[in-house]
Every structure is written in C-alpha cells, then in structure tokens.
Amino acid sequence: MKLNLAVLPGDGIGPEIVEQAMKAVKAVANKFKHELTYEYGLTGAIAIDEVGEPYPEKTHELCMNSDAVLFGAIGDPRFDNDPKAKVRPEQGLLLMRKKLGLYANIRPVETFESLLHKSPLRRELVEGADFVAIRELTGGIYFGEKGRKDGGNTAFDTCTYTREEIERILKLGYDFAMKRNKKLTVVDKANVLESSRLWREVAQEMAPNYPEVKTEYMFVDNAAMQIIQWPKNFDVMVTENMFGDILTDEASVITGSLGLLPSASVGIHTSVFEPIHGSYPQAAGKDIANPIATILSAAMMFEYAFNLPEEGKLIREAVAASMAEKYVTEDIAEGQAYKTSQVGDWIANYIEQN
C-alpha cells in the first residue's frame, strides 16, 4: 500500500522524538512492504523564525496532499510570557486544526503496569482504567466570535455549536463505543449553557439509534470529579472543545504515564497523530526525551489513517517489549537510563526482527 506522510517535527523535543517514530514507521513499512513516501514541513516557533508564520501555506499544502500527518510538538517559552506577541506558535496549531477540518481529538487513556506507582491516584483506583476521551476540536469557544469592546476594557469569547458539528462528533463517539464496551458518556454543562443544551438534545435524539450502547449524560464539573474518583467507570467520553481540553489533561495524568500517551486528530482532509505531551523545551537537543508517546502515535496512524491494525500492533508490541526489558529513557527508568535515540533504535530493531 502507498503511505504518503507529512512529517511536522515542530519545536523543542519535537524533532528528536519524531525522528524515533520515523525509525519505527520505516521499519514497519519495510517489513510489510508498503511504499512509504514522506516530506518534512515547518510548523510552530521554528516556522515563525524561518518564514514569519506558525503554519505556513506550504506546510498546509503538504498536509492536504498527505494521507496522514505525524506531528511532534509546538511551543516555545519565548512566546509564553508575552501577551502582546503578534504571532504565537499555538496559533499554528489552531489554524492547522481548522484548515484541515480536524474535528475530533482522540486520546486513549490507558495505564501501564510498570508506571502505576507514578499515578497521583491510589493504585486500586486506577489499575485497569481504560477509556477513550473524544474532544470536539474545531468548534466552541476556541473558534467562536471573540473581541473587545468599551475601549478594550470588556472582552468576550463566544461558544457556538451547530447541530451538524455535534452530530458528527457524537457519531464518532458511538462508533468507538460500539467497538469497545458500549458505554458513551456525553459531558456538557446543560444546566447552564445553551450550547450544551443543544448537545444534549442532539445526543438524546441519536441515542435510540444505538440501542446496544448505554448513553450517559454528565455535567462537566461532575465529570472532572468522576475521572479521579472512578476512572474505571468510563469507556468512551465525548465532549466539546474547551471542556475536552481540560478533561483530557486531567485524564492523561491519572495514568502516571503522561510521557507515553498518544493522540489522533481525525479530520476531513487528513488526520494528525501526535504525542499528548508538549515541546518540553528544557530537554530539547539533549537526547533524553521519551519517544514512546510519539511512537505510539505512529501506531495509531497505521490503525486509524491506513486501517492497518497488524502494523500498529507490531509497533505496540515493540514498545511493550522495550518497557519490559527496561530499555527506557530517564523519566521512567529505574536502573540504567537510555537515550532517546537508543530507545528509538531498539524499538525499530525489534520491529525488524519480529
């Protein structure tokens, strides 16, 4: 099969971790005899430095012409403490989401036995937790009308959702629930927000079409609590953009393995696969960052973008083997720690040999 990738390493540790994921991608493509082509593109602070904007048109065209995008991370401390900065790396990410129509962000929340002791929760609460958080990514307050009035002294951001946007994301939620444990939790704030009331209305209309799935409705404040009290009660959670931003950070950290979790952003034109962690600028260039989240994002890419589950499975197996062998980076090492590049080589080598 032809696999045509856009590779966007981005900022901070992005280039190093993406390089390791590409080693795994090449090894798998070789092994299963796929015809792999790929091209690198600029995004984030590095794109601002080189061409003055965080998501240049050239990068957008590259993404539009690709079957999938492998993304590292963006963000640079130079921009963080300057509220007046005219362009910032994060704008690139939002623009990319909008222009590629990446309407769903999918974050599997899984635990790794060997890292459970790093969870902020008691082991018995989190052990075996396994759910998928689906966040709507191109609507809501992130993209609604915003501005200032009263000479700049009043500011507003508007949360807007259309029925179509809600149906599209809920449908994806139900598709996931059907393939998993058949429970869908729709998270909203329907006791206060009109946009949430539309979410709930649409969900209630759709639920009868999925009689096998148990649809549950939960207010976002309660959901924030339930995630830490009973994480094992969730199977598939679906929610709007900003609630999802907050809840998915919360959900990822309870596993104790933030550095290991991948994500997929599914879109109309292509899909983007990236680790959920950020650009970790303090570690950039040091060859110490954990590449596993990005390598697992590549596994998701084979599964979701190419419908090649065997290829994804082999990558997962290689990652699990590296952890079982304790061939890991310093953030999760108990004894000897290995370099980012060494872990990448080990995993690619495992793929070649197995």
Q: Is 245 annotated as a binding residue?
A: yes
Torsion-angle region of 98 (φ positive above 0: left; ψ -120 to 50: alpha; else: beta): alpha
Based on CB atoms, which residue is closest to ligand IPM, 10 or 344?
10
The CB-nearest residue to ligand IPM is 90
| HEC assignment per residue over 158-209 | CCCCCHHHHHHHHHHHHHHHHHCCCEEEEEECCCCCHHHHHHHHHHHHHHHH
Q: Which of 9, 1, 201 has the alpha carbon at shortest distance from 92?
A: 9
Query: Which amino acids are annotated catalytic?
Result: 142, 189, 221, 245, 249
Nearest approach, Cβ of residue 95 and ligand IPM (Å): 11
Q: Does 250 bind Mn ion (CB under 5 A)?
A: no
Residues that bind ligand IPM (CB under 6 A): 90, 93-94, 245
Nearest approach, Cβ of residue 24 and ligand IPM (Å): 23
Identify how many contiguous H helices and E strands the chain contains and give both numbers. 13, 12
Q: Does 352 bind Mn ion (CB under 5 A)?
A: no
- Distance CA(164)–CA(75), nearest Å, equals 32
Angle, CA 35 vertex, CA 294 and CA 47 arms, to 5°: 45
Q: Is 97 annotated as a binding residue?
A: yes
Q: Is 157 annotated as a binding residue?
A: no
| Cβ 218 vs Cβ 187: under 8 Å | yes
Nearest approach, Cβ of residue 340 and ligand IPM (Å): 22
Nearest approach, Cβ of residue 245 and ligand IPM (Å): 5
Pick what 93 binds: ligand IPM, Mn ion, none; C-beta below 5 to 8 Å, kind-dependent: ligand IPM
Based on CB atoms, which residue is closest to ligand IPM, 90 or 250?
90
- Distance CA(261)–CA(275), nearest Å, equals 6
- Distance CA(142)–CA(146), nearest Å, equals 9
Q: Does 245 bind Mn ion (CB under 5 A)?
A: yes
Residue numbers belonging to the annotated binding site for Mg(2+): 221, 245, 249
Applying CB under 5 A, the residues found at the interface with Mn ion are: 245
Binding residues for substrate, as ranges, are 97, 107, 135, 221
